[in-house]
């Protein structure tokens, strides 16, 4: 899918100007992963953002009781953003992301993106606000899922 349309689908461009979107496009790098390949490892310190272009991924978390086991938390498809928590706070990744099938992602390098945000503070504000909206949607969906589980 064309990156501009994919960014709109992801909701990452909500509140951004056309110039802001062009900055994101200029930073984006396409990367391909094979089925079963790890894209993000839980506890890694990387801070890059990812946008799924093609394929699907599983989000897993290690079991705190048995380190050899992990639990699948969710599946993401084209248009979903990954890595926004670590991008914002710099903490280790909270989950592992594995390609379910051949998957293409756009990677937004943290250093390049943060450099652009430092150069253009208004762009930085708009982008962080947009990322916050993506995060709140995920939190809201998680809350609804937990509420549905409690009703069982």
Domains and CATH numbers, the chain: 3-139 (2.60.120.10)
- Residue 145 φ/ψ region, left for φ over 0, alpha for ψ in the -120 to 50 degree band, beta for the rest: alpha
Q: Is the per-residue pLDDT at 9 higher than 80?
A: yes
pLDDT digits over 25-73, tens only?
999 999 999 999 999 999 999 999 999 999 999 999 988 777 778 888 8
Distance CA 65, CA 57 (A): 24
pTM score, whole prediction: 0.89
Distance CA 17, CA 122 (A): 10
Q: Which residues pair with 61 in a beta bridge?
A: 71
| Unique residue bearing structure tokens 């380190």 | 67
Cα of first residue to Cα of last residue in the chain, in angstroms, is: 39
């Amino acid at each position: 899918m064309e990156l501009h349309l994919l960014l709109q689908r992801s909701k990452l461009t909500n509140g951004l100007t056309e110039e802001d979107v062009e900055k994101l496009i200029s930073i984006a790098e396409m990367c391909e992963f094979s089925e079963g390949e790890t894209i993000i490892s839980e506890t890694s310190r990387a801070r890059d953002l990812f946008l799924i272009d093609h394929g699907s991924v599983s989000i897993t978390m290690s079991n705190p009781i048995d380190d050899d086991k992990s639990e699948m938390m969710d599946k993401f498809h084209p248009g979903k953003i990954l890595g926004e928590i670590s991008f914002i706070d710099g903490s280790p990744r909270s989950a592992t992301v594995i390609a379910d099938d051949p998957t293409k992602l756009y990677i937004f390098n943290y250093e390049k993106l943060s450099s652009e945000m430092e150069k253009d503070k208004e762009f930085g504000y708009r982008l962080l606000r947009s990322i916050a909206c993506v995060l709140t949607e995920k939190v809201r969906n998680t809350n609804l899922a937990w509420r549905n589980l409690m009703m069982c």
